[in-house]
Structures are given as C-alpha cells and as structure tokens.
Amino acid sequence: MAHPLAKLQTIPASVASVADYEPLARERMSEQAWAYVAGGAADELTLHANGAAFQRLSLRTSVLGDLSQGSTRLDLFGHALTSPILLAPVAYQTLVHPEGELATALAASAMQTGMIVSTQASMSIESIAQRTKAPLWFQLYIQHDRDFTAALVRRAEAAGYRALVVTVDAPVGGSRNREQRAGFKLPAGVEAVNLRGMQPLSQAADGSRAELLLGGPLLASAPTWRDIAWLRELTSLPVLLKGIMTGEDAECAVDAGVDGIIVSNHGGRTLDTQPASIDVLPEIAQTVNGKVPLLLDGGIRRGSDVFKALALGANAVLIGRAYIYGLAAAGALGVSHVLRMLRAELEITMALTGCTTLQAIRADRIRR
C-alpha cells in the first residue's frame, strides 16, 4: 500500500472546483479509507444518481434586473448563517486527517456555517464544541441502549449543541461491496469515542448468536416513531429527521412534531437503487407545505446544485463527501476552501438568474 502524501499547506491554483479536490484526497488516503469514504451500497447506482440528477436540471436566466443588496444569508432555527450550505455528519474523520472533526469545526467557524457532528465522530462531543464558534448540531443514532442514548443527548445539550439530527434511514448498514473488496476495517486509534462504555448488542434474546437480521436482536431494538416521541419529551432542542425520502414519511414526521426534515438517501450508502435525493424533494416539499424547514443532502458538488435544491423546495443543503475530500487534502484550509467555492458559485448562479436573496429562488428558475 502506497504511503499517503503529505497534506497540502497551500491550495494549488489548479483547484478551481470541488471536483478538483477528489484526486488530491485519493492520493493522500489508503485504498481502504478511500473505499469507505467514496464508496456506496451495492452497485452504487444511487450514489451516482445523486450527482447525475442535478446535471439533468437546467436553469432559466433573467437579465437586467436590479442586483443590488444581494445576500446568501439565512436564519435557521435561530442561527444566523452566511450561506445555506451546512456540513453533514460524517463519521471517523481522523481516518482522512489527523485532526479530524476538530479541523472541520475550525473551518465551520471560519466560514460561519453550521456543522452536524456524527454520533460516530472520532473526537469527543465536548472537544469539538470547544474548537468552534459555529452553530453545532448533533447527529444521533438512537442506540439499542436507550439510557446510553439519553446520556448522549444530555452531553450534547451541556456542550452547547443547538439541535438534534436523528438519522432514521439506517437501522442496518448497507451492503457496501467496495469496502468489502478493499478489506476495510478501522485502523488502530480510530473509533467512535462517544460510544465508549456502551455494551455491544451481540446476542439474541435466548443468549445465542444471531446470524440473521429478521427476527434478530438488532432489528428488535431498532428505533420507531415511539422513540421520536420519547426524544421530543427528553429534550427541548429542535429535532430534525434525516433520511426522509417519501411524502408519506414526511407527513408522519410532521405529525410527530419534528422541527425539520432532511431529505437524504444517506449518500447512496444504505439502500441501492433509491432515487436521487433531489428527485424526491418536490414531492416532500409539497407534502410538508412549509410547515417545517427542509434540508437536502446528497450529490451537491456545485453552487448551482445548491441553487437547484433551494428552487425545488429546500431551505438549505448539506455537503458530505465534498468537504471530506477537502479535509483529506488540506485539513481545515481545504474544508474552508470547499465552502468558499460553493458559496461563490451560488452567488454567481443567483446573479445570472436574477435572484438577489435566497427567498427569490423559486421553481420557475428551473427549466424542465
């Protein structure tokens, strides 16, 4: 296995878009780490569909309008953000950079945007909070041990996190064949540090080892809508559900009293042959009808992609692999640069379509 190259200390002039970070990141990661970060489930059809769906959407321009007083700022759950681009939860970030989530938090602070910290972060909830002044949200996987889950929520509250993002689309992991072929396993020193002390779920109710999912202990302890109600009682923080891909589930989420919805197919990492996130966004936006904020996750690589998501009903977007490639190549500097490029491209797109504010971005700016 080739030794990873040193991280970049300055950004080469040849890096002009988010896509330019991908080869730089790959050169600096092991084959196994690359399989984990870049791969998806099964044949990776959904992984590739996320990006291709944006490319099928065209933009309608508008000329000679008044472009003064333009801004990408928005208020989301009382947080003033400089742009509608937030950092999605990504696990085990020390896998790609020694400073991991601490570097990402530093970039979020520098760019005044929000960061969602994974339950499976490789740095502690508290240490990440100490590193940034940016709004932090905590992404929660509801664990089989509900008391341990409640303790995680209390830790996040005490550390100053401002919302809970509950991932609901992965009660089991996807079949990630690329990882299997590469023989991926976490290297020594990389772990989900915030889950230390939780007893593993390794046996069936009768004490035997469970080999199958159906009827086994993992799915028996998987979260349900009752757990969302339990969380609502447990915390006063806003609760968002991440992984909603149908109008029916969006309606159930609103009925359950959640504060926001993140339209996401988990970056194509759980169930392959799902549609692209952007393709189901209009259905969910119509169902929700402005009752709660909508965020979109999956396939964002250009500022024009951000624009298209806002036009089709999102209030903001999350980026995942895009900033992880920047992190792998150049640490906090790379993450900041990715955010800066996307925001600049969004501003260009807004100007050339005649939209000076985020509220002006509507579906009539999309040509079908």
Active-site amino acid positions: 266
Chain centroid to Cα 202, Å, comes to: 28
CB 201 within 8 A of CB 217: yes
CB 46 within 8 A of CB 298: no
**Closest-CA residue to 161 (of 196, 186, 130):** 130
Query: How big is the chain, counted in residues?
Result: 368
Q: Is 258 left (phi over 0), alpha (psi -120 to 50) or beta?
A: beta
Tokens 């989420």, residue located: 253
Q: Is the dihedral of CA 184, 9, 117, 47 positive or negative?
A: negative
Q: How many angstroms separate the CA atoms of 304 and 67, rounded?
A: 18
| Helical segments of the chain, H only | 21-27, 31-38, 45-55, 100-111, 125-131, 146-159, 177-182, 217-220, 225-234, 247-255, 277-288, 303-311, 321-352
CB 167 within 8 A of CB 139: yes
| Helical segments of 176-246, H only | 177-182, 217-220, 225-234
